[in-house]
């Protein structure tokens, strides 16, 4: 079953005629993702990689019955692209774009909530259900089908931990990179709830980092709502106060959001926490059946 994307995902690539859109559309198609349309205003009627291009998302959805979209649109126009997809009734939107102004992120956040659309990102690597569907920029060759869900704020650490799991013979049900901006469409608690209700997920890996309270909120949810085991990893243990780790949301302010506080919260909630990406995989190997 997996979560968010799967065999029934029919995706649009918004921005498919640009370099990044075309490059990653080709990778997703080779993986087996059903890319049924592209959208670039003014380019309707053309084709990219054999995929028909439309001027508007509404038209693409009407013609192809698409239910998902992945966005490779420049930052000044990305929020409008997200809201266009939500207005067209797209169920899942994955926004890869980074550098979107916070005010624009706030507008699109409320619009997707009103529409009931699942938004992954922005500024994220995307989502993959190994062997089923991939929307985003993840290196798909490192993943393998299995029963461990991963939710992460960090793209690079997601790849490292997934690769370590795969090397140990442990596959993944779905891997979700939620993004590291201050305002994102789907957070840890949202994804943990999906994994808790997914019959194909037996355990979950949560990859966090310094800054904000998202991991502490996730710990509260784990303690109250999760029956499945969770293994955590928090990046930035040695980062000094005020240090930002590449993400807009990954900054310690006023003593809140330290790695120590997040690790303590997860452990109090019953989650095991690895000190290294390899230790995380080893902890998972003791929990799940291969």
What was the pLDDT predicted at 212? Answer: 86
- Per the CB < 8 A criterion, the answer to whether 59 and 83 are in contact is no
- DSSP notation for 140-200: GGG--EEEEEEEES-HHHHHHHHHHHHHTT--EEEEEE---SSS-SS-HHHHHHHHHT-TT
How much is the mean pLDDT over the chain?
Answer: 93
Output the CA torsion 93→154→230→188 (10° steps): -40
DSSP secondary structure code for residue 20 in this structure: H
92-95 and 68-71 strand pairing: parallel
pLDDT in tens, 100-136: 999 999 999 999 999 999 999 999 999 999 999 999 9
pLDDT in tens, 12-38: 999 999 999 999 999 999 999 999 999
Establish whether 247 is a catalytic residue: yes
What was the pLDDT predicted at 73? Answer: 98
Q: What predicted TM-score, i.e. pTM, was given to this entire model?
A: 0.94
Sequence-ordered list of residues with C-beta below 8 angstroms from that of 225, at least 6 positions apart, any chain: 192, 193, 196
Domains in the chain (CATH in brackets) are 10-120 (3.40.50.720), 139-285 (3.40.50.261)
Residue 224: band (very low, low, confident or very high) from pLDDT cuts 50, 70, 90: very high
What was the pLDDT predicted at 289? Answer: 74
Q: What whole-number distance in Å separates Cα of residue 73 and Cα of residue 260? A: 37
What was the pLDDT predicted at 256? Answer: 57
What was the pLDDT predicted at 257? Answer: 74
Distance of CA 18 to the CA centre of its chain: 22
Q: What whole-number distance in Å separates Cα of residue 44 and Cα of residue 216? A: 46
Cα distance from N-terminal residue to C-terminal residue, the chain: 18
């Amino acid at each position: 079953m997996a979560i968010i994307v799967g065999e029934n995902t029919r995706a649009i690539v918004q921005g498919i005629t640009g370099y990044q859109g075309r490059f990653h559309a080709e990778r997703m198609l080779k993986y087996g993702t059903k890319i049924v349309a592209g959208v670039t205003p003014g380019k309707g009627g053309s084709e990219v990689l054999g995929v028909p291009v439309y001027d508007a998302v509404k038209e693409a959805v009407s013609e192809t019955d698409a239910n998902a979209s992945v966005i490779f649109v420049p930052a000044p126009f990305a929020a409008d692209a997200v809201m266009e997809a939500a207005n067209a009734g797209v169920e899942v939107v994955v926004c890869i774009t980074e550098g979107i102004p916070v005010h624009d992120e706030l507008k699109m956040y409320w619009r997707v909530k009103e529409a009931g659309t699942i938004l992954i990102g922005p500024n994220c690597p995307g989502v993959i259900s190994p062997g089923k569907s991939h929307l985003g920029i993840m290196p798909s060759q490192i993943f393998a089908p299995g029963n461990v869900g991963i939710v992460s704020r960090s793209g690079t650490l997601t790849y490292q931990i997934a690769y370590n799991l795969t090397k140990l013979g442990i596959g993944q049900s779905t891997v979700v990179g939620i993004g590291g901006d201050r305002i994102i469409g789907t957070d840890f608690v949202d994804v943990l709830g999906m994994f808790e209700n997914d019959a194909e997920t037996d355990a979950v890996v949560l990859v966090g980092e310094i800054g904000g309270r998202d991991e502490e909120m996730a710990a509260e949810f784990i303690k109250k709502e999760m029956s499945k085991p969770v293994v955590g990893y928090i990046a930035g243990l040695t980062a000094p106060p005020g240090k930002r780790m590449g993400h807009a949301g990954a900054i310690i302010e006023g003593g809140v959001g330290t790695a120590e506080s997040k690790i303590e919260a997860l452990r109090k909630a019953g989650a095991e926490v690895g000190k290294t990406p390899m230790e995380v995989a080893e902890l998972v190997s003791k929990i799940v059946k291969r």
